[in-house]
């Protein structure tokens, strides 16, 4: 986003009636507003996920609802089987003593069984709560206790072991339901553990005794019932349990489809963690309202191959996934022959020229229009096919700031990638780019029926039928006032009526002279360098800006090898003087375009990467700034002293749970 | 437990080198027996005698009550003896080819294996084994180019294609990383405990032997020097002497 826009003068707007109406309830003075189309979004008569599923099982029983690759073959699951699986699992839960409003925590990779459990819990009148599968046991504990879950669904032995290691602290727990029993034959005697199939077996028995129970339960539910808990992003601590109703989720899905039409012929590939609202939004909110096929990979290692086999038509992924795809393309191009590389580069140049004009909203000259299909056929089509993007109609990125370079690259190749803005608290997304109005600096316009306003302090607040019912574990939270959701995001509206989300409110750095610096803006510029994996810019109330950097181990490692710099591991590599020189260049490049007060004056390279296992990041790779500031206080203090280096005793946690202390000397590099 | 495989008084000599002198060993049905010993103590030689690569100069091998001392290797495999090697043997071709080749051993020769029905059956069974040893990402990769840990998995899956009753595993964890070792240990345990296979395990990693084996036999310079539970064996003075010297 451009800094000029931060101070851009506000355009007075003629607001439509319905927006004025919505603004009447605004809890405080607002300085700007943006809104979506005035289109009525009506929920269908089937106003819960399960009613929709029952409908599809009746009307399209034999068509494919889900597809999973197993034993090397795509196995299809029809809508009828989908319903049957959900039904038997739901009744099985009831047979086990699952009561109304019971909560079940779901931990696992993307599998159809995850959806069966999720929808089954809803059909048993309970509430599913998906959490990230790479959470450590001590990170799972507060999530399970805060959501008051009495049931846990685990995908496999790994997840089961995590639960068993904290089971003493979970006295309320009824049963742990395990799907994949590979390597778990010794767990059979444990009375707490039951297999997914056994639960379904119990359900089938109950179905014979009470054949109408499932339908009765499904029909008892309405749009106002809670559909699920979703974790909040958790940048400030343990993620909270966001309560979403069926209306919230379905409204969001339907409103999105007003902008992005989706239908039964679309293909969707589910591979991002289900705990992420974005994935639930696509697989459930959109999947069940539009009725498209959801595909699942075979193993996490085969994701990209399976992705290509499916050839999805719609996709929503965080920036790191797009980064992966761009890297895949770049590697493939670099490996190809001279002629192909030349053709590709030329085509990309034409693409860049077109995209730049598009972003500025200018008219595209005739010759560029003419060249586009030619470039596609000659250069891009086969490349896009190799990475599985050839059939992509609508690709979305969100959840964090996308790298502008990646964004331009993909658009130049003809991938229709667009940005969104959203959060768990608003059932997924609230703003998105419309076709023909793509601008990498903004997140687009709000969804139909959604109004977004900016308060005097610059906070983004939104009003929409998709706004959550509250936090389950924090009933006193002040996140919703008069139906307006406070996002804690700092943002503004540009002249086109697009929302620009700058950063988290709490993260905006205020320097001693009063300059407000959005750290993400600087950090993303630093991260454009392939050698920087992560960066944190500092700090409140200090005279100048400094940064803590994480090097990118593969790329910097490659660079070191190319320059004959030997190293042993990450710690060693990160502290090489040559690497500091390299980083100094990166920082200087970033500084060049910045006003004096925002220039990064000093930096250091951390001996380790910020990692979610150390609580330094959320599972979606957002920095937990307060914790980092506290943990690396000595380092930060050194950055604001005259020291040239800092000796720091840091803890390292290995993947197998071992901990170790290391003493490292880190340089403090001054940037002139 | 009945004895499924027995080696009695086995002698093997290569020219002037005496590799085994009068070793006897019995393998009970459903047992996980570990065969340990310092380098050159004759572990692999004994395995080769059992699977038929070597013919002992003296002594007999009995399998399920039949004397198989003179039975050729492929016949022994058909009878239900499978083995893997310390350095896995894979042939040029994909992982799938390698695993499916195992189908021929049990299911009656080349003709059936090349028929449509045979190939379908083999593929189906191979996929189950690929799932078991977790080789999904490498199905169509060339087996020879794979890392040691993966080639060991390919070899194990190929042996399992003919569903042998007795598995002779020659150092299945040598050259593997810690993670791969754990996986392999899990496979061995699952084969033994869940699928009821009788396993003869040659292994150097004593902590692994201690964790999984029911019984341990120790060889040194071609002679059996100890036999018993893992706890007993590690305390045995003869064993300590063999491993650590005087």
Say if residue B112 is in the same domain as residue B185.
Answer: no
Contact (CB<8Å) A72/B128: no
Q: Say if B9 is an interface residue toward chain A (CB within 8 Å).
A: no
Say if residue B117 is in the same domain as residue B219.
Answer: no
Contacts of B182 in chain A (CB under 8 A): none
Task: Kindly state the average pLDDT of the residues A99-112.
Answer: 93
Question: Under a CB-based contact definition with an 8 Å cutoff, are residues A523 and A507 in contact?
Answer: no
Contacts of B99 in chain A (CB under 8 A): none
Please give the sequence-ordered ranges of beta strands (E in DSSP) within A155-264, or none if there are none.
175-178, 193-195, 226-231, 241-245
Chain A residue closest in CA terms to B131: A71
Q: Name the minimum distance, in Å, from the CA of A387 to any CA of chain B.
A: 16
Task: Kindly state the average pLDDT of the residues A294-307.
Answer: 92
Q: Is residue A42 part of a domain?
A: no
Contacts of A305 in chain B (CB under 8 A): 137
Say how far apart CA A226 and CA A228 lie, in whole Å.
6
Say how far apart CA A258 and CA A448 lie, in whole Å.
8
Q: What is the pLDDT at residue A581?
A: 93
Q: Name the minimum distance, in Å, from the CA of B180 to any CA of chain A.
A: 14
Q: Is residue A630 part of a domain?
A: yes
Per-chain mean pLDDT for chain A? 88
Chain A residue closest in CA terms to B140: A72
Q: Count of alpha carbons within 13 Å of A206, Cβ hemisphere only?
A: 21
Q: What is the pLDDT at residue A7?
A: 38
Say if residue B25 is in the same domain as residue B122.
Answer: no
Among residues A482, A506, A530, the one where a domain terminates is A506
Contact (CB<8Å) A302/B193: no
Q: Residue A369 above 80 pLDDT?
A: yes
Q: Nearest to residue A101, comparing CAs of A258, A247, A239, A226?
A: A226
Q: Name the minimum distance, in Å, from the CA of B163 to any CA of chain A.
A: 19
Contact (CB<8Å) A301/B128: no
Contacts of B146 in chain A (CB under 8 A): none
Report CA torsion sign: B203, B207, B213, B214: positive
Say if residue A502 is in the same domain as residue A519.
Answer: no
Say how far apart CA A629 and CA A614 lie, in whole Å.
14
Q: Residue A270 above 90 pLDDT?
A: yes
DSSP letter string, A254-285: HHHHHHS---TT-EEEE-S-TTSHHHHIIIII
Question: Under a CB-based contact definition with an 8 Å cutoff, are residues A424 and A252 in contact?
Answer: no
CA angle B137, B142, B147 (to 5 degrees): 70
Question: Under a CB-based contact definition with an 8 Å cutoff, are residues B25 and B198 in contact?
Answer: no
Chain B residue closest in CA terms to A188: B194
Give the residue, A244 or A512, on which the prediction is more confident: A244
Domain containing residue A98: 49-308
Question: Under a CB-based contact definition with an 8 Å cutoff, are residues B219 and B236 in contact?
Answer: no
Q: Say if B131 is an interface residue toward chain A (CB within 8 Å).
A: yes
Q: Say if B134 is an interface residue toward chain A (CB within 8 Å).
A: yes
Q: How far is CA A606 from CA A534, A615, A634, in A?
A: 10, 16, 12
Question: Under a CB-based contact definition with an 8 Å cutoff, are residues A421 and A487 in contact?
Answer: no
Please give the backbone phi and psi of residue A278, each rounded to the nearest 5 degrees, phi first: -60, -40
Q: Name the minimum distance, in Å, from the CA of B195 to any CA of chain A.
A: 11
Which of A73, A186, A302 lies closest to B137 in CB terms?
A302
Contact (CB<8Å) A183/B139: no
Among residues B163, B187, B220, the one where a domain terminates is B163
Count of the separate structural domains present in chain A: 3
Say how far apart CA A197 and CA A609 lie, in whole Å.
41
Contact (CB<8Å) B127/A72: yes
Chain A residue closest in CA terms to B123: A71
Chain A residue closest in CA terms to B185: A183
Say how far apart CA A225 and CA A216 lie, in whole Å.
15
Q: Nearest to residue B224, comparing CAs of B33, B5, B41?
A: B41
**Dihedral of the CA atoms A79, A81, A84, A90 (nearest 10)?**
-80
Q: Residue A11 above 60 pLDDT?
A: no
Q: Say if B127 is an interface residue toward chain A (CB within 8 Å).
A: yes
Q: Residue A603 above 70 pLDDT?
A: yes
Task: Kindly state the average pLDDT of the residues A368-393.
Answer: 91
DSSP letter string, A379-427: IIHHHHHHHT-TT-SEEEE-SSPPPHHHHHHHHHTT--EEEEEEEGGGT
Task: Kindly state the average pLDDT of the residues A242-253.
Answer: 92
Which of B139, B186, B190 lies closest to A72 in CB terms?
B139
Report CA torsion sign: A87, A89, A94, A98: negative
Paired with A231 in beta bridges are A241
Q: Is residue A548 part of a domain?
A: yes
Say how far apart CA B4 and CA A115 lie, in whole Å.
47
pTM for this model (two decimals): 0.83
Say how far apart CA A268 and CA A311 lie, in whole Å.
8
Say if residue A347 is in the same domain as residue A475.
Answer: yes
Say how far apart CA A567 and CA A576 lie, in whole Å.
8
Q: What is the pLDDT at residue B50?
A: 93
ipTM for the whole predicted complex goes beyond 0.85: no
Say how far apart CA B135 and CA B145 lie, in whole Å.
14
- Number of Cβ within 10 Å of residue B68's Cβ equals 19
Q: Residue A6 above 60 pLDDT?
A: no
Count of the separate structural domains present in chain B: 2
Contact (CB<8Å) A72/B193: no
CB burial string A519-548: b at 16+ within 10 A, e below: bbbbbbbbbebbbbbbbbbbbeebebbbbb
Please, is A111 exposed, middle or buried when counting C-beta atoms within 10 Å of its C-beta (0-12, 13-18, 19+)? buried
Pick out chain B residues at pLDDT < 50.
Answer: none
Q: Say if A264 is an interface residue toward chain B (CB within 8 Å).
A: no
Question: Dmax of chain B from CA atoms?
Answer: 62
Q: Is residue A41 part of a domain?
A: no
Which of A71, A186, A299 lies closest to B137 in CB terms?
A299
Say if residue A9 is in the same domain as residue A58.
Answer: no
- Number of Cβ within 10 Å of residue A480's Cβ equals 18
> pLDDT tens-digit profile of A451-463?
999 888 888 999 9
Say if residue B239 is in the same domain as residue B194.
Answer: yes
Q: Is residue A112 part of a domain?
A: yes
Q: Name the minimum distance, in Å, from the CA of A188 to any CA of chain B.
A: 12
Among residues A308, A328, A358, the one where a domain terminates is A308
Say if residue B65 is in the same domain as residue B93.
Answer: no
Please give the backbone phi and psi of residue A575, each rounded to the nearest 5 degrees, phi first: -105, 10
CATH number assigned to the domain comprising residue B210? 3.40.50.300
Contact (CB<8Å) A183/B186: yes
Contacts of B97 in chain A (CB under 8 A): none
Say if residue A62 is in the same domain as residue A188.
Answer: yes
Query: Cβ neighbours of residue A540 under 8 Å, at least 6 residues apart?
Result: A509, A510
* Residue A617 DSSP label: B
Contacts of A73 in chain B (CB under 8 A): 127
Q: Name the minimum distance, in Å, from the CA of A233 to any CA of chain B.
A: 32
Among residues B143, B163, B183, the one where a domain terminates is B163
Please give the backbone phi and psi of residue A31, each rounded to the nearest 5 degrees, phi first: -110, -15
Q: Say if A186 is an interface residue toward chain B (CB within 8 Å).
A: yes
Say if residue B69 is in the same domain as residue B116.
Answer: no
* Residue A14 DSSP label: -
Mutation pick from B136, B140, B150, B186 vs chain A, by most beta carbons of A within 10 Å, is: B136
Which of A185, A186, A302 lies closest to B136 in CB terms?
A302
Q: Nearest to residue A242, comparing CAs of A62, A533, A485?
A: A485
Among residues B123, B140, B163, the one where a domain terminates is B163
Say how far apart CA B198 and CA A666 lie, in whole Å.
56
Q: Is residue A422 part of a domain?
A: yes
Which of B124, B136, B194 lies closest to A298 in CB terms?
B136
Contact (CB<8Å) B186/A186: no
Q: Say if A71 is an interface residue toward chain B (CB within 8 Å).
A: yes
Q: Are strands A394-397 and A417-423 parallel, antiparallel or unpaired?
A: parallel
Say if residue B173 is in the same domain as residue B157.
Answer: no
Q: Say if B137 is an interface residue toward chain A (CB within 8 Å).
A: yes
Please, is A123 exposed, middle or buried when counting C-beta atoms within 10 Å of its C-beta (0-12, 13-18, 19+)? buried
CB burial string A270-281: b at 16+ within 10 A, e below: bbbbbbbbbbbb
Q: What is the pLDDT at residue B246?
A: 59
CA angle A52, A398, A420 (to 5 degrees): 75
Contact (CB<8Å) A72/B137: no
Contact (CB<8Å) B127/A183: no
Contact (CB<8Å) A71/B124: yes
Q: What is the pLDDT at residue A279?
A: 92
Task: Kindly state the average pLDDT of the residues A406-420.
Answer: 92
Q: Name the minimum distance, in Å, from the CA of B123 to any CA of chain A.
A: 9
Say how far apart CA A646 and CA A604 lie, in whole Å.
9
Say if residue A352 is in the same domain as residue A232.
Answer: no
Q: What is the pLDDT at residue A5?
A: 38
CATH number assigned to the domain comprising residue A540? 3.30.300.30
Q: What is the pLDDT at residue B1?
A: 67
Chain A residue closest in CA terms to B134: A299
Task: Kindly state the average pLDDT of the residues A163-170.
Answer: 92
Chain B residue closest in CA terms to A157: B186
Which of B130, B137, B190 lies closest to A185 in CB terms?
B190
Say if residue A405 is in the same domain as residue A547.
Answer: no
Say if residue A478 is in the same domain as residue A396.
Answer: yes
Q: What is the pLDDT at residue A214?
A: 92
Q: Say if A16 is an interface residue toward chain B (CB within 8 Å).
A: no
Q: Name the minimum distance, in Å, from the CA of A71 to any CA of chain B.
A: 5
- Number of Cβ within 10 Å of residue A665's Cβ equals 10
Q: Are strands A659-667 and A645-653 parallel, antiparallel or unpaired?
A: antiparallel
Q: What is the pLDDT at residue A540?
A: 66
> pLDDT tens-digit profile of A486-526?
988 888 888 888 888 877 777 777 777 777 777 887 887 78
Query: Cβ neighbours of residue B239 under 8 Å, at least 6 residues apart?
Result: B218, B225, B226, B233
Say if residue B52 is in the same domain as residue B172.
Answer: yes
Domain containing residue B159: 87-163
Which of A183, A299, A305 lies closest to B190 in CB terms?
A183
CATH number assigned to the domain comprising residue A381? 2.30.38.10
Q: Say if A188 is an interface residue toward chain B (CB within 8 Å).
A: no
Please, is A48 exposed, middle or buried when counting C-beta atoms within 10 Å of its C-beta (0-12, 13-18, 19+)? buried
Question: Under a CB-based contact definition with an 8 Å cutoff, are residues A128 and A225 in contact?
Answer: no
Contact (CB<8Å) B194/A298: no
Report CA torsion sign: A609, A614, A615, A618: positive
Chain A residue closest in CA terms to B137: A302
Say if residue A239 is in the same domain as residue A349.
Answer: no
Task: Kindly state the average pLDDT of the residues A422-448.
Answer: 89
Say if residue B170 is in the same domain as residue B156.
Answer: no
Mutation pick from A72, A109, A180, A296 vs chain B, by most beta carbons of B within 10 Å, is: A72
Q: Say if B128 is an interface residue toward chain A (CB within 8 Å).
A: yes
Say if residue A402 is in the same domain as residue A491.
Answer: yes
Strand, helix or coil for residue A533: strand
Say if residue A626 is in the same domain as residue A532.
Answer: yes
Say if residue A109 is in the same domain as residue A210.
Answer: yes
Task: Kindly state the average pLDDT of the residues A435-456.
Answer: 88
Contacts of B194 in chain A (CB under 8 A): 185
Say if residue B169 is in the same domain as residue B246.
Answer: yes
Please give the sequence-ordered ranges of beta strands (E in DSSP) within A572-653, or none if there are none.
600-605, 645-653
Find out whether the peptide bond into A539 is cis, omega within 30 degrees of 0.
Answer: yes
Say if residue A173 is in the same domain as residue A299.
Answer: yes
Say how far apart CA A470 and CA A311 lie, in whole Å.
37
Q: Say if A185 is an interface residue toward chain B (CB within 8 Å).
A: yes
Q: Are strands A600-605 and A545-551 parallel, antiparallel or unpaired?
A: parallel
Chain B residue closest in CA terms to A655: B179
Report CA torsion sign: B136, B139, B140, B143: positive
**Dihedral of the CA atoms A413, A417, A419, A423 (nearest 10)?**
-140
């Amino acid at each position: 986003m451009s800094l000029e826009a931060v101070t851009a003068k506000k355009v007075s707007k003629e607001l439509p009636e319905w927006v004025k109406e919505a603004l009447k309830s605004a809890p405080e003075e607002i300085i700007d507003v943006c809104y979506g189309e005035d289109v009525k979004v009506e929920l269908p008569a089937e106003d819960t996920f399960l009613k929709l599923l029952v409908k599809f099982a009746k009307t399209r029983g034999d068509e494919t609802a889900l597809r999973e690759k197993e034993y090397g073959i795509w196995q299809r699951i029809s809508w009828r089987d989908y319903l049957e699986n959900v039904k038997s699992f739901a009744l099985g839960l009831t047979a086990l003593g699952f009561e109304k409003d019971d909560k079940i925590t779901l931990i696992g990779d993307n599998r159809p069984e995850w959806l069966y459990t999720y929808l089954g819990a809803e059909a048993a009148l309970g509430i599913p709560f998906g959490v990230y599968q790479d959470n450590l046991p001590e990170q799972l504990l507060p999530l399970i206790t805060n959501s008051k879950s009495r049931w846990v669904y685990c995908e496999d032995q790994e997840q089961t072991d995590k639960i068993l290691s904290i089971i003493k602290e979970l006295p309320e727990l009824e049963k742990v339901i395990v799907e994949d029993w590979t390597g778990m034959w010794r767990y059979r005697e444990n009375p707490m553990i039951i297999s997914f199939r056994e639960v379904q077996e119990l359900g089938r028995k109950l179905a014979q005794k009470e054949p109408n129970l499932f339908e009765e339960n499904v029909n008892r539910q309405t749009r106002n019932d809670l559909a699920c808990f979703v974790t909040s992003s958790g940048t400030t601590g343990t993620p909270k349990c966001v309560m979403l109703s069926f209306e919230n989720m379905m409204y969001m899905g339907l409103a999105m489809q007003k902008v992005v039409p989706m239908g039964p012929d679309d293909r969707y590939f589910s591979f991002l963690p289900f705990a992420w609202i974005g994935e639930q939004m696509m697989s459930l909110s959109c999947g069940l309202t539009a009725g498209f096929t959801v595909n699942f990979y075979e193993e996490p290692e085969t994701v990209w191959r399976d992705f290509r086999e499916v050839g999805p038509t719609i996709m929503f992924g965080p920036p790191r996934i797009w980064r992966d795809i761009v890297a895949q393309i770049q590697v493939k191009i670099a490996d190809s022959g001279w002629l192909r590389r030349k053709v590709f580069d030329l085509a990309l140049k034409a693409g860049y020229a077109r995209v730049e004009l598009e972003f500025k909203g200018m008219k595209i000259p005739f010759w560029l229009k003419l060249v586009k299909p030619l470039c596609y056929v000659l250069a891009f089509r086969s490349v896009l096919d190799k990475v599985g993007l050839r059939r992509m109609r609508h690709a979305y990125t969100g959840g964090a700031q996308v790298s502008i370079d990646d964004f331009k690259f993909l658009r130049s190749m003809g991938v229709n990638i667009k940005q969104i803005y959203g959060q768990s608290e608003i059932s997924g997304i609230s703003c998105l780019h419309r076709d023909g109005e793509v601008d990498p600096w903004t997140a687009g316009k709000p969804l139909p029926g959604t109004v977004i306003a900016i308060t005097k302090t610059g906070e983004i607040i939104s009003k929409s039928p998709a706004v959550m019912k509250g936090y389950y574990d924090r009933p006193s939270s002040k996140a919703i006032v008069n139906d307006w959701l406070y996002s804690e995001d700092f943002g503004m509206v540009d002249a086109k009526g697009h929302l620009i989300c700058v950063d988290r409110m709490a993260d905006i750095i205020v320097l001693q002279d009063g300059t407000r610096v959005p750290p993400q803006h600087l950090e993303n510029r630093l991260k454009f360098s392939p050698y920087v994996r992560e960066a944190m810019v500092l700090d409140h109330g200090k005279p100048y800006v400094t940064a803590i950097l994480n090097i990118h181990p593969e790329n910097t490692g490659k660079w070191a090898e190319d320059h004959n710099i030997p190293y042993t591991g990450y710690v060693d590599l990160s502290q090489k003087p040559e690497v500091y020189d390299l980083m100094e260049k990166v920082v200087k490049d970033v500084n060049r375009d910045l006003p004096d007060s925002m220039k990064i004056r000093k930096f250091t390279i951390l001996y380790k990467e910020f990692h979610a296992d150390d609580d330094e990041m959320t599972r979606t790779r957002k920095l937990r700034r307060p914790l980092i500031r506290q943990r690396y206080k000595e380092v930060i203090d050194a950055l604001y002293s005259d020291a040239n280096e800092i000796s720091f005793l840091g803890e390292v946690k290995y993947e197998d749970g071992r901990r170790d202390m290391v003493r490292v000397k880190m340089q403090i590099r001054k940037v002139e | 437990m009945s004895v499924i495989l027995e080696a009695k008084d086995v002698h093997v000599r290569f020219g002037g080198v005496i590799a085994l002198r009068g070793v006897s060993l019995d393998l009970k049905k459903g047992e996980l027996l570990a065969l340990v010993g310092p380098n050159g103590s004759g572990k692999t030689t004994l395995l080769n005698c059992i699977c038929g690569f070597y013919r002992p100069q003296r002594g007999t091998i009995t399998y399920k009550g039949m004397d198989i001392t003179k039975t050729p290797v492929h016949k022994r495999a058909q009878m239900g003896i499978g083995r893997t090697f310390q350095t896995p043997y894979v042939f040029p071709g994909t992982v799938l080819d390698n695993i499916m080749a195992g189908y021929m051993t049990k299911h009656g020769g080349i003709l059936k294996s090349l028929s449509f029905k045979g190939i379908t059956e083999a593929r189906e069974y191979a996929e189950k084994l690929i799932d078991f040893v977790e080789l999904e990402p490498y199905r169509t990769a060339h087996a020879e180019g794979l890392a040691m840990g993966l080639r060991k998995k390919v070899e194990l899956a190929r042996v399992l294609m003919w569903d042998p009753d007795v598995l002779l595993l020659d150092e299945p964890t040598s050259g593997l990383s810690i993670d791969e070792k754990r996986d392999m240990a899990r496979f061995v345990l699952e084969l033994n405990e869940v699928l009821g296979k009788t396993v003869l395990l040659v292994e150097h990693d004593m902590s692994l032997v201690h964790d999984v084996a029911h019984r341990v036999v120790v060889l040194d310079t071609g002679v059996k020097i100890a036999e018993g539970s893992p706890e007993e064996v590690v305390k045995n003075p003869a064993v300590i002497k063999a491993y650590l010297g005087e």
